[in-house]
């Protein structure tokens, strides 16, 4: 029996950088009343607050919720308020190397877009994220730019030898996430085990990037049972099935 559900956010619980819709919000509120829940995604803490926490129903058991921004490189736990457990931040030298490498890979790949919305490269402290169309690109435009991840796989193939001592993963609709080596969603899973005392065989992960190279794939590699989802609507059906099996 699984006692914890873990989710990616963009493309899994909500559309890219969009808030939870009312149906998803209600389902997650019910879920947190019968099980522990964790969210591990590429966005930083302010994005989690805006996109997820602002839509969680009142009277939800927040003590059952763990939040791991920037692909598990940060961890927040609720104890009367949200408390940061750790943050695996880059040094100034590491940041400079990563940004320079990203800029080179973008030029070499030939995928530089004609129109962008906001910054292409965002420093999230413990993770640096490249968003191909910019951080504020409309969801409908982002969804058609690289739906099969092929463009980003080519950019990643260029980035990997440029930044061999960092972890490069694909996620979201247009993003590439870079973290310190070994600091990824599997690292976040290990921290859930360590901090909460929940074993991996009691966890179930749901994400839309569970393929090799995707930023959800480390969770599968580390031994957590995982379900690939196409979109938030399919995730809702997965949550409903879990609730039906757990009296929720």
Same domain, residue pair 146 and 114: yes
- What is the arrangement of strands in the sheet containing 82-87, beginning at the earlier edge strand? 82-87, 74-78, 65-68, 36-40, 4-7, 203-207, 225-228
CATH assignment at residue 225: 3.40.50.1000
Q: Which residue has the tokens 């099935």?
A: 241
pLDDT in the model for residue 114: 83
In this prediction the pTM is 0.88
CATH assignment at residue 166: 3.30.1240.20
pLDDT in the model for residue 111: 86
Residue-number span of the structural domain to which 117 is assigned: 92-179
**Confidence at 76, pLDDT banded by 50, 70, 90:** very high
pLDDT in the model for residue 1: 82
Boundary of a domain, candidates 128, 157, 179: 179
**Confidence at 172, pLDDT banded by 50, 70, 90:** confident
- What DSSP letter does each residue of the chain carry, written as one string? ---EEEE-SBTTTBSTT-PPPHHHHHHHHHHHTTSEEEEE-SS-HHHHHHHTGGGSPTT--GGGEEEEHHHHTEEEEESSSEEEEEE-PPPHHHHHHHHHHHHHHHHHHT---SS--S-SEEE-SS-EEEETT-TT--HHHHHHHSTTSHHHHHHHHHHHHHSTTSEEEEETTTEEEEESTT-SHHHHHHHHHHHH---GGGEEEEES--STTBTTHHHHHTT-EEEE-SSHHHHHHHHHHHHHHTT-
Greater pLDDT, 237 or 16 = 237
Boundary of a domain, candidates 161, 179, 197: 179
Q: Is the pLDDT of residue 51 over 90?
A: yes
């Amino acid at each position: 029996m699984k006692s914890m559900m873990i989710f990616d956010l963009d493309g899994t619980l909500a559309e890219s950088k969009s808030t939870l819709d009312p149906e998803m919000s209600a389902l997650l509120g019910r879920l947190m009343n019968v099980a522990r829940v964790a969210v591990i995604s590429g966005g930083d803490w302010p994005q989690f607050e805006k996109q997820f926490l602002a839509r969680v129903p009142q009277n939800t058991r927040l003590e059952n919720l763990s939040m791991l921004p920037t692909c598990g490189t940060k961890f927040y736990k609720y104890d009367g308020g949200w408390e940061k457990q750790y943050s695996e931040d880059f040094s100034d030298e590491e940041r400079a190397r990563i940004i320079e490498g990203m800029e080179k890979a973008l030029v070499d790949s030939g995928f530089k877009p004609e129109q962008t919305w906001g910054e292409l490269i965002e420093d999230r402290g413990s993770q640096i994220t490249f968003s191909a169309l910019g951080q504020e690109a409309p969801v409908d435009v982002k969804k058609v730019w690289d739906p099969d991840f092929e463009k980003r796989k080519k950019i990643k193939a260029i980035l990997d030898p440029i930044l061999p001592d960092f972890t490069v993963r694909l996620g979201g609709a247009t993003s590439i996430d870079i973290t310190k080596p070994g600091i990824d969603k599997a690292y976040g899973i290990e921290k859930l085990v360590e901090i909460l005392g929940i074993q991996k065989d009691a966890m179930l992960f749901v994400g839309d990037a569970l393929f090799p190279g995707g930023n959800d794939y480390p969770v599968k590699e580390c031994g957590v049972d995982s379900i690939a989802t196409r979109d938030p609507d399919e995730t809702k059906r997965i949550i409903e099935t879990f609730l039906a099996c757990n009296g929720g």
